[in-house]
Amino acid sequence: MAQRSEFTAPNAYTYDQRSVPRWVFSHIRRYWYFALSFYFFFLIAWSCYAGTQVLIGRAVDEIISPSGPSGLMVITLIILSVMVGDGLSGLLGSLSAENVAARFEADARQEFYENLLSKSKGFHDRQRAGDIMARATDDTSQLSHMIAPGITLVSETVMGIVIPLIYIAFIRLELLLVPLCFVAAYIVTAKTYVRRLNPVVHDQREQFGAMNAGLEETISGIEVVKASAREGFEREKFRRNARLFRDFFVRQGYIEARYLPLLLYGIALGLSFLHAMWLYRQGSIQIGQVIAVVGLVNVLRFPTFISIFAFSLIQSGIASANRILKIVRAETDLDENSGGHAAQMRGEIVFEHVGFSYQESGVGSRESGANVSASQPGPLPGPTPDSQPPTPVLADISFRIAAGQTVAIVGQTGSGKSALTQLVNRTYDVGDGRVLIDGVDVRTWSLDSLRSQIGKIEQDIFLFSRSIADNIAFGAPDASREQVIVAAQAAQAHDFISTFPDGYDTVVGERGMTLSGGQRQRIALARAFLSDPRILILDDSTSAIDSATEDQIQQAIRKAQEGRTVLLITHRISQIRWADLILVLEGGRITAAGTHEELLVSSPHYRRIFARYDADLPPLEPAAAEDAALRAA
Amino acid sequence: MGFLFDGLDAEEYDRSYSDGDLVRRILGYFRPQARKMGLAAAMIACAALLDAGIPIFIARSIDTLRADTTISRIALTALALAALGATSWVFNMVRQTLAAQAVGDVVLKMREDACDSVLRRDMSFYDQYASGKIVSRVTSDTAAFSQVMNLSMELISRLLLVFALVGYLATVSLKLTGILLALAPLIVGAALAFRAIARRTITASRRMNAEVSGHIQETVSGIGVAKTFRQEPAIYAEFVRVNGQSLRVNRRTRYVFSSIFPILNILAGIGTAALVYVGGMDVRDGAITAGTWFLFIQGLQSIWFPLTSIASFWSQFQIGLAAGERVFGLIDAEPRVIQTDDVKLPALRGEIRFENMDFSYKAGSRDLGVGSRGDGLSQGSENPSTFEGTLLQPLTPDSRLLTPEWVLKDFSLHIRAGETLALVGHTGSGKSSIAKLVARFYEFQGGRISIDGVDIRRLNLESYRSRLGMVTQTPFLFDGSVRENIRYGRPDAGDAEVLAAARHVGGDEWIAALPRGLDTQVGERGSGLSMGQRQLVALARVLLQDPAIIILDEATASVDPLTEVLIQEGLDTVLAGRTAIVIAHRLSTVRHANRIIVLRKGAIIEEGSHGGLLAADGHYAELYNTYFRHQSLEYIEQARKAA
Residues B149 and B195 in one domain: no
Report d(CA A163, CA A157) in Å as an integer.
Answer: 10
A positions 279-318 inside 8 Å of B (CB): 280-281, 287, 290-291, 294, 298, 306, 309
Phi, psi of A86 (to 5 degrees): -60, -50
Q: How many CB atoms lie within 10 A of CB B369?
A: 15
Residues B153 and B198 in one domain: no
CATH number at residue B325: 1.20.1560.10
Residues B139 and B208 in one domain: no
Report d(CA A267, CA B432) in Å as an integer.
Answer: 73
Range of the domain at B194: 174-287
Can you tell me whether residue B414 is helix, strand or coil?
strand
Q: With respect to residue B479, please indicate whether it lies within any of the assigned structural domains.
A: no
Q: pLDDT tens digits, residue range A25-34? A: 999 999 999 9
Task: Give first-to-last CA distance, chain B, whole Å.
Answer: 72
Contacts of B29 (CB under 8 A, 6+ apart): B106, B109, B110
Residue predicted with more confidence, A612 or A388: A612
Beta strands in A492-560 (DSSP E): 535-540
- Alpha carbon of residue B626 to chain centroid: 40
CB-based contact B582:B596 (threshold 8 Å) = no
Strands of B595-600's sheet in order across = B468-471, B549-553, B579-583, B420-424, B595-600, B603-608
Residues B154 and B178 in one domain: no
Q: pLDDT tens digits, residue range A160-196? A: 999 999 999 999 899 999 999 999 999 899 889 888 9
Residue A439's alpha-carbon distances to A335, A399, A419, A423, A564, in angstroms, are: 20, 13, 21, 15, 17
Q: Which CATH superfamily is domain A17-172+301-332 in?
A: ABC transporter type 1, transmembrane domain (1.20.1560.10)
Contact state of A612 with B568 under an 8 Å Cβ cutoff: yes
Report d(CA B193, CA B215) in Å as an integer.
Answer: 34
Residues B150 and B30 in one domain: yes
Interchain contact A360–B (C-beta under 8 A): no
Residues B214 and B90 in one domain: no
Contact state of B259 with A80 under an 8 Å Cβ cutoff: no
Q: pLDDT tens digits, residue range B372-394? A: 333 333 333 333 333 333 233 33
Q: How many CB atoms lie within 10 A of CB A629?
A: 20
Contact state of B629 with A117 under an 8 Å Cβ cutoff: no
Report d(CA A296, CA A617) in Å as an integer.
Answer: 97
Q: Where are the domains of chain A?
A: 17-172+301-332, 349-357+392-453+533-632, 462-521
Task: Give first-to-last CA distance, chain A, whole Å.
Answer: 40
- Count CA within 13 A, CB hemisphere, residue A564: 24
| Statement: residue A209 has pLDDT above 90 | no
Q: Which of B365, B326, B404, B459 is nearest to B123 (CA)?
A: B365
Report d(CA A604, CA A622) in Å as an integer.
Answer: 8
Contact state of B630 with A148 under an 8 Å Cβ cutoff: no
Torsion A533-A536-A539-A541 (CA) sign: positive
Question: Cα angle at B511 between B509 and B516, to 5 degrees?
Answer: 135
> How many helices (H) and strands (E) are present in chain B, helices listed first?
20, 10
Report d(CA B458, CA B450) in Å as an integer.
Answer: 9
Closest residue in chain B to residue A450, using alpha carbons only: B228
Q: How many CB atoms lie within 10 A of CB B361?
A: 22
Residues B112 and B210 in one domain: no
A positions 429-488 inside 8 Å of B (CB): 451-452, 455-456, 458, 462-465, 474-477
Closest residue in chain A to residue B240, using alpha carbons only: A110
Q: How many CB atoms lie within 10 A of CB A544?
A: 22
Q: With respect to residue B42, please indicate whether it lies within any of the assigned structural domains.
A: yes
Interchain contact B206–A (C-beta under 8 A): no
Task: Name the domain count of chain B.
Answer: 2
Which residues does chain A have within 8 Å of residue B97's beta carbon, measured at their own beta carbons?
A: 253-254, 257
CB-based contact B582:B554 (threshold 8 Å) = yes
Residues B47 and B143 in one domain: yes
Burial B465-497 (b: 16+ CB within 10 A, else e): bbbbbbbbbebbbbbebbbbbbbbbbeebeeeb
- Length of chain A, in residues: 633
- Alpha carbon of residue B188 to chain centroid: 35
Q: Which whole number is the average pLDDT over A70-92? A: 90
The pLDDT averaged over each successive group of 10 residues in chain B (643 residues) is 51 63 84 88 87 85 79 85 90 91 91 90 82 85 80 81 88 88 84 82 84 84 74 84 91 88 86 89 86 86 74 74 84 83 85 92 49 34 32 38 74 92 86 89 90 91 87 84 91 91 84 85 82 86 90 74 80 85 83 88 88 87 82 75 52
Contact state of B219 with A116 under an 8 Å Cβ cutoff: yes
Q: Name which of A234, A277, A536 to mutate to probe chain B: the one with the most chain B Cβ atoms within 10 A of its Cβ.
A: A277
Which residues does chain B have within 8 Å of residue A82's beta carbon, measured at their own beta carbons?
A: 269
Predicted confidence band of residue A130 (pLDDT cuts 50, 70, 90): confident
Q: With respect to residue B200, please indicate whether it lies within any of the assigned structural domains.
A: yes
Q: Which whole number is the average pLDDT over A345-367? A: 71
Q: With respect to residue B215, please indicate whether it lies within any of the assigned structural domains.
A: yes
Residues B26 and B154 in one domain: yes
Contacts of B99 (CB under 8 A, 6+ apart): A253, B36, B37, B40, B149, B150, B153
Task: Supply the pLDDT for residue A216.
Answer: 87
CB-based contact B268:B35 (threshold 8 Å) = no
Residues B85 and B205 in one domain: no
Interchain contact B527–A (C-beta under 8 A): no
Report d(CA A316, CA A322) in Å as an integer.
Answer: 10
In terms of CATH architecture, what is A349-357+392-453+533-632?
3-Layer(aba) Sandwich (3.40)
Q: With respect to residue B357, please indicate whether it lies within any of the assigned structural domains.
A: no
Helices (H), B121-173: 123-128, 131-136, 142-172
Concatenating the DSSP letter of every residue in B486-532 gives: HTTT-TT--HHHHHHHHHHHHTTHHHHHSTTGGG-B--GGGTTS-HH
Q: With respect to residue B6, please indicate whether it lies within any of the assigned structural domains.
A: no
Burial A414-448 (b: 16+ CB within 10 A, else e): bbbbbbbbbbbbbbbbbbebbbbbbebebbebbbe
A positions 81-100 inside 8 Å of B (CB): 82-84, 86-88, 90-91, 94-95, 97-99
Q: pLDDT tens digits, residue range B78-126? A: 888 889 889 989 998 999 899 899 999 999 999 999 999 888 888 888 8
Q: pLDDT tens digits, residue range A528-538? A: 888 888 999 98
Residues B325 and B240 in one domain: no
Contact state of A62 with B223 under an 8 Å Cβ cutoff: no
Closest residue in chain B to residue A215, using alpha carbons only: B135
Which residues does chain B have within 8 Å of residue A106's beta carbon, measured at their own beta carbons?
A: 243-244, 246-247, 250
Helices (H), B514-632: 531-544, 561-575, 587-592, 610-616, 619-623
Task: Supply the pLDDT for residue B5.
Answer: 60
Report d(CA B430, CA B450) in Å as an integer.
Answer: 18
Task: Supply the pLDDT for residue B524.
Answer: 78
Task: Supply the pLDDT for residue B565.
Answer: 81
Task: Supply the pLDDT for residue B214.
Answer: 84
Report d(CA A3, CA B289) in Å as an integer.
Answer: 75
Q: pLDDT tens digits, residue range B218-271? A: 888 777 777 766 677 888 888 899 999 999 999 998 898 888 888 888 888 888
Predicted confidence band of residue A100 (pLDDT cuts 50, 70, 90): very high
Report the gap between the CA of A623 and the closest CA in chain B (Å): 22
Report d(CA B367, CA B16) in Å as an integer.
Answer: 14
Task: Supply the pLDDT for residue A623.
Answer: 58
Of A62, A456, A611, the CB nearest to B228: A456
Contact state of B266 with A411 under an 8 Å Cβ cutoff: no
Report d(CA A533, CA A567) in Å as an integer.
Answer: 12
Task: Supply the pLDDT for residue B394.
Answer: 37
Which residues does chain B have within 8 Å of residue A614's beta carbon, measured at their own beta carbons?
A: 633
Contact state of B243 with A558 under an 8 Å Cβ cutoff: no
Of B212, B255, B489, the CB nearest to A137: B212
Residues B25 and B142 in one domain: yes
Percent of chain A with pLDDT over 70: 88
Contacts of A623 (CB under 8 A, 6+ apart): none
Helices (H), A330-429: 417-424
Interchain contact A236–B (C-beta under 8 A): no
Amino acid symbol at B418: G
CB-based contact B131:B257 (threshold 8 Å) = no
ipTM comes to 0.81
Q: What is the DSSP letter of A548?
A: H
Task: Supply the pLDDT for residue A425.
Answer: 83
Residue predicted with more confidence, A7 or A41: A41
Cross-strand pairs, A586: A589
Cross-strand pairs, A507: A467
